[in-house]
Chains A and B, each alone.
Chain A
Amino acid sequence: MTEIPTPASPFAYAPAPESTSVVDLRTSYGLFVDGAFVDGRGESFTTLNPATEQPLAEVAAADAADVDAAVKAARRAQERVWGRMPGRERAKYLFRIARIIQERSRELAVLETLDNGKPIKESRDVDVPMVAAWFFYYAGWADKLEHAGYGTTPVGVAGQVIPWNFPLMMLAWKVAPALACGNTVVLKPAETTPLTALLFAEICQQADLPAGVVNVLTGAGETGRLVVGHDDVDKVAFTGSTEVGRQIARAVAGTRKKVTLELGGKAANIVFDDAAIDQAVEGTVNGIFFNQGHVCCAGSRLLVQESIAEEVLDRLRARMSTLRVGDPLDKNTDVGAINSREQLDRITELAAVGEEEGAGRWAPDCALPSTGYWFRPTIFTGVTQAHRIAREEVFGPVLSVLTFRTPAEAVEKANNTPYGLSAGVWTEKGSRILWMAERLRAGVVWANTFNKFDPTSPFGGYQESGYGREGGRHGLAAYLQEENR
């Protein structure tokens, strides 16, 4: 093979920043309880733009009394209004919300990118359209529950705690099915990304959603614990780390609370020697560098058949060299900012461990901005199952590359993890895809694709990746009482 040096391109894309004028940031935000914004009783906190480390706004923190008020409002709304409302009327509210999300899509996308650090390209083309689609999909279920096979009785009040990696999308995944089934919600967005949830609260106001049906409580982990632990919460839904998932599972033990948990992952992306290789490389890149690798189902372990390992790595490096890292608001940015200093430290630490353990570290030579939280897209080669970077969730743009020889070995290595959220398989041989898909212990298997999501498609894990499914008909189960199944 001829080594072709990559010349500097004369085609230098000029900055193409998305305007932030569409976002009307306030200096401070309150809690959204019982249909109105109120002051929090906890100590307010600052949310930053992770790309600049500049403060965006002061945000209220909910304490126990705030949580109690929100749960009471949700209970009232559930019993007096929302739970009694015919499904077709609930549906109309959800359709309305879906439409307003579409109408305000640019504003939502820009705010999401400001608060989270993800590229505007993704918030604009992936997150926000998916959010609208999620509400649109579940809106249609509200008056058809008797056909879904889970009964029609709502659980009651749902306490929902969501992460910072897809703030709006996770909100939609939680709120839309809950509301469609006749529940009311108390939602706790992540500490570092509260702003779009608060904008969503405004959208609920615009939609004239009855007071108390959606309550948004901002705050840190303690607020989340209070929501989960509140006696009058009937259902807990959480997306986040496996460690917090365990704490929640313990906290609800012995209660009547229903729980669904969508937790961590260490997905294998398996590339066979007969794969459509360019698409496999593209899927690998998308699998780990989408959203800076802050994705629970990220394909963080590339398992490549040994016979084509060098070939795939060459192509992977070449492809990674074209990734554009930087200003999330630039429309040409492929990889944005790491969401927080804390997360950057964690990624940095685990990458250092990878090096100490002898794996080969490589990253393209891209310039990074001088302020903000950044991490170059990175691969580690020569990784084995014994390396920490092959076992622990990095939750960042770091890919571990391992090799295998046979399909059985690929399955064995892919399944050799306490997690089981997702897996990828790349081969042009149909029967092998199905053989692999049957054996991979993961809730989602992407064959010849990766990181695809859809409101009609159930998503969730095996083993320590959590339990319950979000999306599709299956996603209704978590929000309906079990007596009638």
Chain B
Amino acid sequence: MLAPMAAPPTAATPSSVAPTDPLGVAGSDASLRRFLHGLPGVDQVGVESRAAGLATRSIKTTAKAYALDLAVSMVDLTTLEGADTPGKVRALSAKAVRPDPTDASCPAAAAVCVYPDLVATAKQALGSSGVKVASVATAFPSGRAALDLKLADVANAVADGADEIDMVIDRGAFLVGDYRRVLDEIVAVREVCARPGGHDAHLKVILETGELATYDNVRRASWLAMTGGADFIKTSTGKVQPAATLPVTLVMLEAVRDFRRATGRMIGVKPAGGIRTTKDAIKYLVTVNEVAGPDWLDPDWFRFGASSLLNDLLLQRQKMRTGHYSGPDHVTLD
């Protein structure tokens, strides 16, 4: 990092208490701006060509088996529709716990991701399975609401037992350079994520990279979110195109790698939206492995926000197990 590196190293272990501003860069609006604009630039052609290179990795046999199980265990199985119902969420939860009913060796998904009003339903359905409940909040997906409404949205999900909160940043404020406003909002949400007895809800900060438009902005927004205390940085809501792309995720993986080098803290990364095939997922895992490093090859540190991806992973698992191609009737459609 070309940014200040004064922070003392600390152990890289998951922590539910994320200190805000570990680098001491947010003292003033000006210092925050200087810091973010002092981050090294990202060359679009260069980063896209690096991502394309990583995408040519050929992952076969044992490596593929490992990648498939890892990817399944990283899926935040998501439903974010106006038409969502308790029934739909219960079905999805069952699928998350046991993605492939025909194969006991298949790992569970990481989480079920729903709107706040369905958190309680999901929590109940998942019980003690270990599968987390994630809830989008803060006037998802646009984030265009008054702060107190956004915080109430979060508080509601936290009160209903959400393990993880996926908030959206104020892209409008970011694009006009009002980084302070974005940061303050993240910090405020983080406070609402706290639970008196511990077990704070983990905070995933959605950058909505499709609206940030440039990789320079993606890098800055990543650092801004991490400075605000994000546990995870997430690409997209899934409601804006383009959603997750490999190069955007690569830039975010570089950011968490560099943040760890600067502060000792590990932050997770979650690409969301548009990742539908095993082939895609494996490209992401290769990128995690070679850019952020193997430490991130864990559902605690990397997730896929997806819905249809899981079934493709399952079909591929079945193909590897049986030696022949499977079909959509052999995976469950919830």
**Are A and B in direct contact (Cβ within 8 Å)?**
yes
Given A2-B264, A11-B63, A331-B56: A278 and B297 interface contact (C-beta under 8 Å): no
Q: Across chains A and B, which 9 residue pairs bring their CB atoms closest together, nearest first?
A: A279-B46, A16-B58, A9-B294, A2-B9, A331-B58, A276-B43, A277-B40, A279-B43, A14-B63
Least Cβ distance of A404 to chain B in Å?
17
B213, CB-defined interface residue at 8 Å: no
**Cα distance A1–B1 when bound, in Å?**
9
* Residue pair A279, B60 in contact (C-beta under 8 Å): no
Residues of A within 8 A of B211 (CB): none
* Residue pair A11, B66 in contact (C-beta under 8 Å): yes
Residues of B within 8 A of A (CB): 1-2, 5, 9-10, 12, 40-43, 45-47, 50, 56-64, 66-67, 70, 254, 260-264, 285-286, 289-290, 293-295, 297
Question: Contact residue range for chain A?
Answer: 20 to 34
**Cα distance A125–B297 when bound, in Å?**
28
**Cα distance A426–B254 when bound, in Å?**
19
A194, CB-defined interface residue at 8 Å: no
Given A2-B261, A311-B1: A10 and B62 interface contact (C-beta under 8 Å): no
Least Cβ distance of B231 to chain A in Å?
18
Least Cβ distance of A372 to chain B in Å?
21
The residue that A278 contacts in the complex, of B47, B58, B286, with Cβ under 8 A, is B47
Residues of A within 8 A of B293 (CB): 4, 6-7, 9
Least Cβ distance of B298 to chain A in Å?
9
Given A11-B297, A283-B46: A275 and B64 interface contact (C-beta under 8 Å): no
Q: List 21 A-B contacts (CB under 8 A).
A: A1-B261, A1-B262, A2-B261, A7-B294, A7-B295, A8-B294, A9-B297, A10-B297, A11-B67, A11-B286, A12-B63, A14-B62, A121-B56, A274-B41, A276-B46, A278-B254, A279-B42, A331-B57, A448-B46, A449-B45, A449-B46
* Residue pair A10, B66 in contact (C-beta under 8 Å): yes
Least Cβ distance of A435 to chain B in Å?
18
Residues of B within 8 A of A2 (CB): 9-10, 12, 260-264
The residue that B50 contacts in the complex, of A1, A12, A282, with Cβ under 8 A, is A282
**Cα distance A3–B294 when bound, in Å?**
15
A428, CB-defined interface residue at 8 Å: yes
Least Cβ distance of B170 to chain A in Å?
27
Residues of A within 8 A of B42 (CB): 276, 278-279
Interface string of A273-307 (1 = CB under 8 A from B): 11111110011000000000000000000000000
The residue that B62 contacts in the complex, of A12, A278, A279, A283, with Cβ under 8 A, is A12
Given contacts A4-B12, A4-B293, A6-B294, 12 further A-B contacts (CB under 8 A): A1-B261, A2-B10, A2-B260, A2-B263, A4-B261, A6-B293, A9-B297, A11-B294, A275-B41, A276-B43, A278-B47, A279-B46
Least Cβ distance of B15 to chain A in Å?
15
Least Cβ distance of B29 to chain A in Å?
23
Residues of A within 8 A of B1 (CB): 1, 311
Closest residue on chain B to residue A278 by CB atoms: B254
**Cα distance A7–B12 when bound, in Å?**
13
* Residue pair B47, A14 in contact (C-beta under 8 Å): no
Least Cβ distance of A105 to chain B in Å?
15
Interface string of A437-456 (1 = CB under 8 A from B): 00000000000110000000
The residue that A308 contacts in the complex, of B2, B47, B50, with Cβ under 8 A, is B2
* Residue pair B260, A279 in contact (C-beta under 8 Å): no
Least Cβ distance of B128 to chain A in Å?
27
**Cα distance A11–B290 when bound, in Å?**
10
A20, CB-defined interface residue at 8 Å: no
A247, CB-defined interface residue at 8 Å: no
* Residue pair B56, A125 in contact (C-beta under 8 Å): yes
The residue that A428 contacts in the complex, of B41, B62, B64, B66, with Cβ under 8 A, is B41
Least Cβ distance of B134 to chain A in Å?
25
A385, CB-defined interface residue at 8 Å: no
Residues of A within 8 A of B10 (CB): 2
The residue that B63 contacts in the complex, of A4, A13, A125, with Cβ under 8 A, is A13
A322, CB-defined interface residue at 8 Å: yes
* Residue pair B2, A273 in contact (C-beta under 8 Å): yes
Residues of A within 8 A of B46 (CB): 276, 278-279, 282-283, 448-449
Q: Which of A3, A6, A16 has the most CB of B within 10 A?
A: A16
A332, CB-defined interface residue at 8 Å: yes
Least Cβ distance of A129 to chain B in Å?
13
Least Cβ distance of A333 to chain B in Å?
10
* Residue pair A276, B40 in contact (C-beta under 8 Å): yes
Residues of A within 8 A of B64 (CB): 14
Least Cβ distance of B326 to chain A in Å?
21
Residues of B within 8 A of A4 (CB): 12, 260-261, 293, 295
Closest residue on chain A to residue B40 by CB atoms: A277
Closest residue on chain A to residue B254 by CB atoms: A278
Residues of B within 8 A of A322 (CB): 290
Q: Which of A279, A282, A428 has the most CB of B within 10 A?
A: A279
Closest residue on chain A to residue B289 by CB atoms: A11
Residues of A within 8 A of B59 (CB): 13-14, 16
* Residue pair A332, B57 in contact (C-beta under 8 Å): yes
Residues of B within 8 A of A276 (CB): 40-43, 46
The residue that B2 contacts in the complex, of A10, A11, A14, A277, with Cβ under 8 A, is A277
* Residue pair B58, A332 in contact (C-beta under 8 Å): yes
Given A1-B262, A4-B293, A448-B43: A11 and B50 interface contact (C-beta under 8 Å): no
**Cα distance A322–B286 when bound, in Å?**
11
Residues of A within 8 A of B285 (CB): 11
Closest residue on chain A to residue B263 by CB atoms: A2
Least Cβ distance of B258 to chain A in Å?
9
Residues of A within 8 A of B290 (CB): 322
**Cα distance A332–B60 when bound, in Å?**
11
The residue that A13 contacts in the complex, of B40, B57, B70, B297, with Cβ under 8 A, is B57
Closest residue on chain A to residue B266 by CB atoms: A4
The B-contacting residues of A in range 238-277, CB under 8 angstroms, are: 273-277
Residues of B within 8 A of A15 (CB): 60
**Cα distance A14–B67 when bound, in Å?**
11
The residue that A9 contacts in the complex, of B262, B263, B289, with Cβ under 8 A, is B289
The B-contacting residues of A in range 101-136, CB under 8 angstroms, are: 121, 125
The B-contacting residues of A in range 1-44, CB under 8 angstroms, are: 1-4, 6-16
Residues of B within 8 A of A14 (CB): 59-64
Q: Which of B9, B41, B56, B59 has the most CB of A within 10 A?
A: B41
Least Cβ distance of B228 to chain A in Å?
20
The B-contacting residues of A in range 417-474, CB under 8 angstroms, are: 428, 448-449
Least Cβ distance of B278 to chain A in Å?
15
Residues of B within 8 A of A449 (CB): 45-46
**Cα distance A282–B53 when bound, in Å?**
11
Least Cβ distance of A299 to chain B in Å?
14
Residues of A within 8 A of B5 (CB): 1
Residues of B within 8 A of A275 (CB): 40-41
Closest residue on chain A to residue B12 by CB atoms: A4
Least Cβ distance of B127 to chain A in Å?
29
Residues of A within 8 A of B254 (CB): 278
Residues of B within 8 A of A9 (CB): 289, 293-294, 297
Closest residue on chain B to residue A1 by CB atoms: B5
